[in-house]
Structure 1
Amino acid sequence: MDAPIGHNMQTRQRGPPGGAQLFEDTSQQPPQMYGPGGAQMQSGSFNVPPGSFPGANLLNDPMMTNMAMQYGHSLAGQGKELLEKNMDKYISVSKLKYYFAVDTSYVGKKLALLSFPFTHQEWSVKYHKDSPVAPRFDVNAPDLYIPVMAYVTYILVSGIFLGLNNKFTPEELGIQATSALVWLAIEVAIILFSLYLVNAKTDLSTWDVIAFTGYKYVGMIAILIGGLFFHSMGYWIALGYMSVTIFFFLVKTLRLKILPQSATDGFGNGGSQRVYLTFIIALLQPVFMFWLTRHLVA
């Protein structure tokens, strides 16, 4: 009988009686695979000899590797130069570095000056070849390191108060941080606009104004700590003392920065407008210190 269609048939041919097999069935054997150059490969795997794929020799070449590294360094240097060039259009990186040129000794002396400014005698900034020396060499020089660190610490202490009042959430802490920055920006804008309005010829730069107004965060931390340990009484005592210290510090510092140049620059008649503007800037600090801390202690 004929075999059904589709049935695997064995193609064997037997020889003479005795059953000697002349041909073996190869229909069930896997096909043989050959690699490059006729090399036989194992079934179910692709054992590629090393260096047989394109570009393998390039990866193993030390000269090509060094060239690739040098090219990468060159691209990184060009990217850094391009970034600094674009940043200089809006922010002078070299000038900004000046305000962070501090050390541990300077930070300790500056914090002591902000906390106890009444015994300090010399308030003028030192100069070297018509340029102010770095803050680490002069305690009277403005810096941005202390304001930035004080701002971060103020946010962390605010988080403690929010937790004690069962109001802590990441959103609430973010609102606290954003509010402090917005009020600082408003304060700086008011001061710069006032200087422009009266046509003041002053040595104050925008970074100087940010530094001087940022020093109040040091006092705000002390105020919050006083309220944390001594409650309402500690808060008001610390607020009163730190308000006096920041006022005294800024009056002594800004009177040398806002200089009367002539009788036509808005500071004539004995520099009365210069005095008023200095006092206004100094008086703004206790107001913002109270505004940014009272709701936390309450």
Structure 2
Amino acid sequence: MDLPSEYRAGTDDANNSGTKSSQKRRSKGNKNQKAAQPQAPQQQQYFQDFGMQNPQPYMQNPGQPDMFYGGQGFDQGAYGGQMAGMPQFPGQQLLNDPMANMAMQYGQQLAGQGKDIVNKNVEKYISSSKLKYYFAVDTAYVGKKLGLLLFPFTHSDWSIRYNQEEPIAPRYEINAPDLYIPVMAFVTYVLVAGMVLGIQDRFTPEQLGVQASSALVWLIIELVAMSLSLYIMNLNTELKYLDIVAYCGYKFVGMTFSLLAGAAFGSTAYYCVLLWFCLSLVFFLMRTLKVQVLPHQDDDGFTRGGKRSLYLILSVSLVQPLLMWWLTSYIMVFRKV
């Protein structure tokens, strides 16, 4: 149907104006969208208000073909059983290596064998049962033994009782040697020496190590010298090396008391206490070792080795006071007024 030219012109103008207005609205809407894009929290709030789920980005489904990977599926074996993006802890590849596992097992076997060899050798020289014997003490025994070391002159019976060829434990036999008193006396001596040096303003942390190491060195020298003397002189004795350590370690009791007396009452008290403990220790060792170191008796009935055993007993007993004075004299330094 033909329309008048005026009507067509009006219609065209209306259509043009509508198109322009729609373009303006679209451009305005595009501007609003561009302005709203950075406001991601507002979009999330919008979805939460209307109970809608926030659309998630595209994620590949493991095990399914994917158009971006050429239709190939996900292979877990290519990553050693791990997901492609998951981190691995350090050393995991080494643990997954069979050669590394075999090497670790072999190393564990060698370590176990070495431990067994060390335990056997230690057990051969230092048996745990022997150590338990020397530490089988109680409070009553410790008190009696300290009293015997302090005043041994009234003690008469110095023999050690045996039960089926085995010596009775120290807590039941006061004459039996023990290691509890020597060890505790040694530790106390080191601590008291540090205290005395601190009172004299001469203490340094290295002094504790010097005191302990010097005392241990002299104790080892005594042990070696007495063991060699018993072997060279061919003396019949029931002494063991732990017995020698115990008897030589009793001097730390007198050294500790002399240091305490000197720190509390001065030089006169130090020398008096040291002299008393030297005399008591010499008497104690002579009576004890006389029972332990026996003269050798031949088949013809003659006793041999009596003089040698006497010389050895005197040597060991008289060395103890010298060591007691030597290990305490340079600690207890008195200033002349």
**TM-score normalized by the length of structure 2:** 0.64
Distance 1:209 1:150 in 2: 16
3-state SS of 2:294 partner: coil
CA apart distance, 1:31:
3.1
Moved more, 271-280 or 216-225: 271-280
Structure whose alpha-carbon radius of gyration is higher: 2
CA apart distance, 1:165:
2.0
User: Match for residue 182 of structure 1?
Assistant: 217
Distance 2:320 2:61 in 1: 81
Distance 1:248 1:33 in 2: 95
Question: Partner letter of residue 144 of structure 1?
Answer: L
Is 1:242 the equivalent of 2:268? no
User: Match for residue 197 of structure 1?
Assistant: 232
3-state SS of 1:153 partner: helix
CA apart distance, 1:100:
0.8
Moved more, 171-180 or 144-153: 171-180
CA apart distance, 1:193:
1.4
**Equivalent residue for 2:57, pick from 15, 24, 31:** 31
User: Match for residue 289 of structure 1?
Assistant: 324
RMSD: 3.5
Higher helix share: 2
User: Match for residue 15 of structure 2?
Assistant: none
User: Match for residue 262 of structure 2?
Assistant: 227
CA apart distance, 1:120:
1.2
Matches within 5 A, 1:129-208: 129-208=164-243
Distance 1:128 1:159 in 2: 43
CA apart distance, 1:268:
4.3
Residues 191-215 of structure 1, C-alpha deviations (whole Å, 9 max, x = no match): 1111112111100100000000000
CA apart distance, 1:261:
2.6
Distance 1:237 1:187 in 2: 25
CA apart distance, 1:34:
9.1
CA apart distance, 1:89:
3.2
Distance 2:163 2:290 in 1: 21
Distance 2:216 2:278 in 1: 20
Is 1:271 the equivalent of 2:306? yes
Distance 2:164 2:129 in 1: 17
**TM-score normalized by the length of structure 1:** 0.72
- Unpaired runs of 5+ in structure 2? 1-21, 41-54, 64-111
**Equivalent residue for 2:288, pick from 253, 259, 266:** 253
**Equivalent residue for 1:96, pick from 131, 156, 167:** 131
Distance 1:158 1:138 in 2: 32
